[in-house]
Structures are given as structure tokens and as C-alpha cells.
Amino acid sequence: MEPWAIGVFASIDAGLGVNLDVAQELGIKTIQLHAPHQSSRTQEKVDAFKARLNELGITPTVVFGGFDGESYADIPTTQKTVGLVPPETRAARVAEMKEIADFANMLGCKCVGLHIGFIPHDTSDPQYGEVVAVAQELCDYSAKMGQNVHLETGQESADGLLQFIGDVGRENLKVNFDPANMILYGTGEPIEAVKKVGKYLGSVHCKDAKWAANPGQEWGQEVPLGEGDVGMEDYLRALKEVGYDGPLTIEREIPQEPERQKSEVGQAVTLLTGLKTKILG
């Protein structure tokens, strides 16, 4: 795969991300895929989906897990409902992530990703140790299939993420870096953060956002690529500096409206293509 192949976030049946027909029309060759519902994770459905991707010339690079009951309505709700941190849903969600890893393996994809949730900042908190243990369990399960596990940034600062990765201590634990999430959650300057966690980068999102008036207490605002506070050229230069040459995956949380997707994602592709030529030559 060429360095910095431009991709999009897509799904089979979850109504998230970019429609595959739009991706094909825009000439996109890689996708990160939101894991489908359990009923779509059968061998028969996988074979049909693989055939469709082959027909479109699209390669899946990461399969992302998401769970029923998660809500990103505001920061406190996200804290209570997202990922593997909430204790009451943890066991069921770890089991589901293993099923998603199996699905990714059937698809021939060697990476699974997820928002693990708001990891406790206090490493002596018993919950912290429990989340480290479930991350180890998921990494060990995925490693048997030769897979990496990518943690999406946002809920932790770069330093908090480094501490956690060190404590999990698994070679196949990597980072899916989303610069906009650092701004949306108010957890740190994205360019500084990407340089800190650079050696763990397994995948990245290209997404943009504006800071909230009270970062960390209220959401920032997601905006079209190039219209926010990330600074896309600085971001790509930082990715080059840390040696990242994998796909640049555009993630844009907009409705499944093909014309709007075509317009906004098309502009993002144009922006990234221009910057890629400027930086890589």
C-alpha cells in the first residue's frame, strides 16, 4: 500500500461513516470499518462483503468495535457508558470485542480498534487495574490471530495513554490517533500529543474540531476538515516526523446523505491529497 493512502470510516449496517458507493466514486482505496451487528458477522455475510470490497478495490485496514448502550451525548454520559471501563457492561463487551476480532480475522483484517473509555487517572484505583487486565486479555486473544489492538485517542491525555500502554505491556497494543478528539474532549494539543505517542501509532483519523469555551467540561465542535483548530498541515508534518506512513482515514460524523458526504468528504480528499503531495513530494 502506498504511504498515506487516503481512506474513510465506513460501516456495513450501523449507519455510520461514508457509504461505500461514495467511497468508490471518490477513488478511495482503504476503509476503517465499524463492526456490523452480530447477525452480520456470519461467514456467509463476511464472504459477500469481501466480494463487494474486492469489486470496489477497497481494503479494510481496521475493524472498530462499538457497543449497544454507548452514548456520546455529553462528557459525563460518555464517561458512564462508553467502552470497557463501565464495570456493569465490561464482561459482555469484552466477549463481544473477541467476537469482533474473530469477524476481522474472517475478513482478513489484522487490526481491531475501540474507544476503551475513560480510564481512571489514579493508577492506584482498583478500576484502573481491572481495565489494564481486560486490555491485556483482549490483546492476548487478538495476538493469537496476529492482530493488533488500536486504542482511539480522546478520553486520555497523551501522558495518560502512555502510562496505560506501558502498564498493559503488550506489543500488539497500538494507538489510533484522532487529533479532533483531543480538542473535542479537551485532553490536549493534538500536535504535541501525536509527537508524544508517535512510536505507538497503528492508525490515524483525519478529523477536525474547534475547542469548547470550557475544554474538558463541555464538548468542542466537530467541523469539516481544514476548518477547525487541528491545523492539518502541521498534523501531517508531525505524522511524517514520527515516521507514520499508514492510511490517512477521514472520519466525518455526518448523516447518510450521499450528496453531502460526496461534497464534504470530497473536499477532505482534495485537501489531504494536496498536503500529501506538498509534504511527501
CATH number assigned to the domain comprising residue 13: 3.20.20.150
Residue 199 within any structural domain of the chain: yes
Full residue range of the structural domain in which residue 84 is found: 6-280
Tell me if the pTM is above 0.75. Answer: yes
Please report the pLDDT score of residue 257 as a whole number.
Answer: 76
Residue 20 within any structural domain of the chain: yes
CA angle 132, 120, 126 (to 5 degrees): 60
Please report the pLDDT score of residue 252 as a whole number.
Answer: 87
User: What count of residues does the chain have?
Assistant: 281
* Residue 221 φ then ψ, to 5°: -120, 125
Residue 1 within any structural domain of the chain: no
Domain count within the chain: 1
DSSP class of 199? G
Residue located via cell numbers 484505583: 125
Contacts 24+ apart (CB under 8 A), 9-14: 9/34, 9/64, 9/205, 9/249, 9/250, 9/251, 9/252, 10/34, 11/36, 12/36, 12/40, 12/45, 12/49, 13/37, 13/40, 14/66
Residues of the chain with pLDDT under 50: none
* Residue 32 grid cell: 476503517
Helices 158-168 and 190-197: angle between axes, nearest 10 degrees: 20
Residue located via cell numbers 494536496: 274
Please report the pLDDT score of residue 14 as a whole number.
Answer: 58
